[in-house]
Amino acid sequence: MNDTPPPIEIRDACVSFRGKTVLDEIDCEFRPRSATAVIGSSGSGKTTLLRTIARMNDGMDGFRFRGKLFVQGSEIYGNGTDVCRLRGKVGMVFQKPCVFPKSVLENAVFGLKHHQPERKKEFPELAERFLREAFLWDEVKDRLHQPAAVLSQGQQQRLAIARALAVGPEIFLMDEPTASLDPKSTQAIEELVRSLKQKHCVVLATHNLGQARRLCEEVLFVCEGRIRESGPASRVFDNPLDEETRAYLSQ
Amino acid sequence: MSPSADPQANGPERNGRYFPGRGPAYWVCAGFACVALGAAGILLGYLVAESLPALRSQGWPFLLGKDWFVGENYGALPMIYGSVMATALALALALPFALGGAVFVAEFLPARARLIVKSIMELLAGVPGIVYGLLGMSFLAPWIKDAFGLIDGNSLLAAGALLGIMVLPTVMTLSEDALRSVPAEYRENALSLGLTQTEVVFSVAVPQALPGIAGAVFLGVGRAMGETIAVLLVIGGIDRIPSPWYDVFSPGQSIPSKLGREAAESLGYGLHWNALMGLGLVLLLMTMAVAFAGNLFLRRARP
Ligand SMILES: Nc1ncnc2c1ncn2[C@@H]1O[C@H](COP(=O)(O)OP(=O)(O)O)[C@@H](O)[C@H]1O
Ligand SMILES: [Mg+2]
């Protein structure tokens, strides 16, 4: 065992909305500098798991969390957690691309502007840096001041990723980021995940098994709110131990 | 027959541009639109025609004159002043509460409490002016009289405060609708970037709802400017600009309250009638200016 705590560690967690249990007996950890796929059919609880890690369910009606969830060693559902700081460390990309009705440039630095307003002078530089990291720079460098809404869906999704990158998170939660995109944008995002996982801990919810196989070292199979199987991607895909997993993978 | 000569054909081509065909729906709706526009045009024309004798006999002093003595001269300035002042007071008093309340209800209140507050506000928005007027007469004006030690509580301040209370529910509930109509995903994205709830409200929700909020405010201004009976009962009914001009504790007169008081007795003929019609025209132009300013502002507020 080494000393640095894992980026995310979940111990016997249970999530319910208005008394209805959505996730139960969740027990897992995620490794640094690698991508973990969360797979499972729709309605199995992938989105809820990711949102729980960023405390994005707090405002939901009747949300209850039991168990322990550590991000970089500190318990986030304990007393005195600074939720805004936590979300600065845990970036989230949603299934549906969503850009603010502002220019491309303003979108790229939107989060940064609130965390480090004193660096206003550097924003154009920083925007370029993060747009490059999101593989979007070449496509938008001539229209930085146009409304972000004119970009294609795939470009908007990469802009959302650049916007999240700018805040400087160490953990990236991506909830089916390519589910509503065309093949070309999907490819661009997959390339992006490959480069993100060099430095970050990436959690990728997807029901595209090929994508999980291509991008991720670890796999977590979620079924009806429980983790049915987890382990290295090659092992889980080639030799699933669980009956349910085998059925899901073979469909 | 070439296709472009037949306006009924679908997609006639003119110089490389295509136009959709015009079916029955087009003509029926166009007909109704023309009737509506025509009615507004006739109204405006009638007002102009009826007020022309007064405008001609008075000249500019009609707008700038400070005295209104029936049979001698007709100066509209005190009434214009009263309308502007009462409306401005209403806005100054109501906006902080209406907008603050809208933000609070839309962004911070749990769903059930929000529904209760909303239904109360919508109920209040529908209460007729005369009811507000009676309450203003029996409670607000006496209260202002005692609180500020005045001889008479009926004043510009009473009218402004009463108008403020009247437009508050409308402005608040419409602004709240505008805030609620900003999709939740924008808030979620902003939250996920680590913004605080306050930052989300003021840098995401409010800017996106601004056109709707501005619309609500301009609707409130329009209602305040046109309100007759409630103002008539508490404004004092004296055609005078107080000195100093900002002395809101003095009685005054607004255009609608003047019309409400004098229209019946002068109905139909004489310069007095023409002068009252002139006042109506001025009020119409003022509300049109408000609507125009609102549109201009909205166009600029849109990203
Ligand atoms: N806010 C909520 N309130 C009640 N039930 C919810 C809520 N969010 C999710 N659920 C339920 O939790 C289950 C898992 O949903 P979700 O996490 O979105 O699944 P997935 O992302 O795998 O499709 C679903 O049955 C859904 O109805
Ligand atoms: Mg989902």
pLDDT band for position B268 (50/70/90)? confident
- Of A21, A48, A208, A221, the residue with max ligand 1 atoms within 8 A of its CB, to mutate for a pocket test, comes to A48
A245 CA → ligand 1 middle, Å: 20
What is the SS3 assignment for chain A?
A: CCCCCCCEEEEEEEEEECCEEEEEEEEEEECCCEEEEEECCCCCCHHHHHHHHCCCCCCCCCEEEEEEEEECCEECCCCCCCHHHHHHHEEEECCCCCCCCCEHHHHHCHHHHHHCHHHHHHHHHHHHHHHHHCCCHHHHCCCCCCEHHHCCHHHHHHHHHHHHHHCCCCEEEEECCCCCCCHHHHHHHHHHHHHHCCCCEEEEECCCHHHHHHHCCEEEEEECCEEEEEEEHHHHHHCCCCHHHHHHHHC
**Does A54 contact B189 at a Cβ distance shorter than 8 Å?**
no
B188 in A contact zone (CB under 8 Å): yes
Q: Which of A171-180, B4-13, B162-171 has the lowest mean pLDDT?
A: B4-13
pLDDT tens digits, residue range B176-208?
A: 999 999 999 999 999 999 999 999 999 999 999
Query: Residue B16 has what pLDDT?
Result: 72
Q: Indicate if the pLDDT at residue B302 is higher than 60.
A: no
**Does B191 contact A56 at a Cβ distance shorter than 8 Å?**
yes
Q: What is the mean pLDDT of residues A47-58?
A: 94
pLDDT tens digits, residue range A13-45?
A: 999 999 999 999 999 999 999 999 999 999 999
Instruction: Pick the residue from chain B with its C-alpha nearest to A88.
Output: B194
pLDDT band for position B158 (50/70/90)? very high
Q: Report residues near ion ligand 2: CB below 5 Å.
A: A 47
pLDDT band for position B3 (50/70/90)? very low
pLDDT band for position B161 (50/70/90)? very high
A56 in B contact zone (CB under 8 Å): yes
Instruction: Pick the residue from chain B with its C-alpha nearest to A83.
Output: B194
B189 CA → ligand 1 middle, Å: 18
- The residue whose CA is least distant from atom 14 of ligand 1 is A45
A251 CA → ligand 1 middle, Å: 22
| Per-chain mean pLDDT for chain A | 92
pLDDT band for position B301 (50/70/90)? low
Say which residue, B3 or B12, is predicted with more confidence. B12
Query: Residue A209 has what pLDDT?
Result: 92
pLDDT tens digits, residue range B55-91?
A: 888 888 888 888 888 888 888 999 999 999 999 999 9
A74-75: strand order across its sheet: A20-30, A8-17, A63-71, A74-75
**Does B195 contact A100 at a Cβ distance shorter than 8 Å?**
no
Contact map slice: B 9-68 vs A, CB within 8 A: none
**Residue A9: strand pairing partners:** A29, A70
Task: Give me the sign of the Cα torsion angle A49, A50, A53, A56.
Answer: negative
**Does A100 contact B192 at a Cβ distance shorter than 8 Å?**
no
Nearest to B84 by CA among B105, B63, B57, B112: B63
Q: Indicate if the pLDDT at residue A161 is higher than 50.
A: yes
pLDDT band for position B1 (50/70/90)? very low
Domains and CATH numbers, chain B: 57-301 (1.10.3720.10)
pTM: 0.85
pLDDT band for position B13 (50/70/90)? low
ipTM over 0.90 threshold? yes
Smallest CA–CA distance, residue B194 to chain A, in Å, is 4
